[in-house]
Amino acid sequence: MSSILTNNSAMVALQTLKSINSNLASTQAEISTGKAIGSAKDNAAVWAISKVMEADVKGFKGISDSLSLGESTVAVARQASETVTDLLTEIKSKIVAAQEDNVDRGKIQTDIVALRNQITSVVGAAQFNGLNLVDGSQTGTNANGNTGVDVLSSLDRKADGSIVTSSIGVDAQNLSLTAGTALAAAAASVGTDTGTAGVIDANDGGTNDSITLDTFAFLDASGGATATAAVMPDAAGVDTAVTTGLVVGDQLSLTIGTVQGSYVVKEGDTAESVVAGMKNAMVAQGLDGNSFSMDIDTNAAQLVITNETNADAAFSFSASRGSGGLAGLATMDVSTSGGADAALGAIENMIQTSIDASATFGSVEGRIEIQSNFVGKLSDSLKAGIGAMVDADMEAASARLQALQVQQQLGTQALSIANQAPQNILSLFR
């Protein structure tokens, strides 16, 4: 049945043309923006995921900047530590020369003072953007639980959508010549020294041929020194003005003959771990086990050092807070034979301190570099993932555009034909 009031063919052609025009507009938007999903109405779920990932990419850009800053800061500290090591090695050569009697020790001492001043200059200048990791100025606690700083290294998104950050802890190293605060004997001391003061008697059948490190106390959270393990100096309630107990960062130094060993108190250290660390330090510095036996009593938390030789051996023990690793350099004097002998033992420990600092910074710098490369690759992967979700397939869009343009032309032609149908009814009334 033909009707002049209702043109079904025109309505069908019109709806088809509207659909074609809508698809054509969508395809043209894809081509102009390069995105298949440009807004939430295109695909709300995928659009939401892409926006979260884009935010993460922005966050990783900030992390990359943080890693670059941290790497530069640590590199400066490492270079300073390595330079100090070279200067200390040069000082050692001067000290070795001072062992000879037929030399001008006064002039050698002048050279040592000049090198010492250069070390002070290097340590003081080793800062990046105002942050110095080698002069002992750092007091905060880092992610490792030690004194130092943190470098923001990662942005971790959990399954529930929450975000946490990760950091790389950089331990500060104190290579200054600043002498620290001497701690009282109640904090750490030689508990048994009944013979000649400062001497371990020869092992000749007497009773004073050994010393015992057996006095250790730790600061507590109530401002006293009754704790059984070392805590951080900035922990709540800890009073670092109290010198009758140990805290993290305090340095113990034991010298036997010309061998000097040092141990820095670590978080969680007990009396047992301190004596073990002290023993390891002396072994590392070359204390002859045949000449001096070292026995640890774990129950009593004691380190007993016995002179196995037939000659007396001088010893000294000290504990200090806030002291620089090169504090002994400030008073080093080789102008006398005795001073030259003492300096030879002390310089080895200082060289090892600077070497350890260099190795620590080098290890952290390498880790930061690896993390920086990983963050860069991760950002690229996230960008690729976002592109796979929302970017338009330009080849497919081009083919679809041409097809829709042809369909549009055909749709327009069909609508034109359908609109002419009522006019054909007029021929029935002629």
The neighbour count for residue 291, using CB atoms within 10 Å, is 16
- List the chain domain ranges: 8-34+392-427, 46-173+358-384, 181-323
The pLDDT score that the predictor gives to residue 1 is 65
Regions in the chain scoring below 50 on pLDDT:
none
- Angstrom CA distances, 387 to 23, 28, 36, stand at 22, 18, 10
Dihedral angle at the C-alpha atoms of 347, 348, 353, 356, nearest 10 degrees? 150
- Name the 3-class secondary structure at 18: helix
CATH superfamily of 46-173+358-384: f41 fragment of flagellin, N-terminal domain (1.20.1330.10)
Question: Phi and psi for 124 in degrees, rounded to 5?
Answer: -70, -30
The pLDDT, as a whole number, for residue 353 is 86
Return the SS3 of 96. helix
For 258-311, what is each residue's pLDDT tens digit? Answer: 888 888 888 889 999 999 999 998 998 888 888 999 998 877 788 999 988 888
Instruction: Give every CB contact of residue 384 below 8 A, 6+ residues apart in sequence.
Output: none
Per-residue pLDDT, 31 = 84
pLDDT at 195: 66
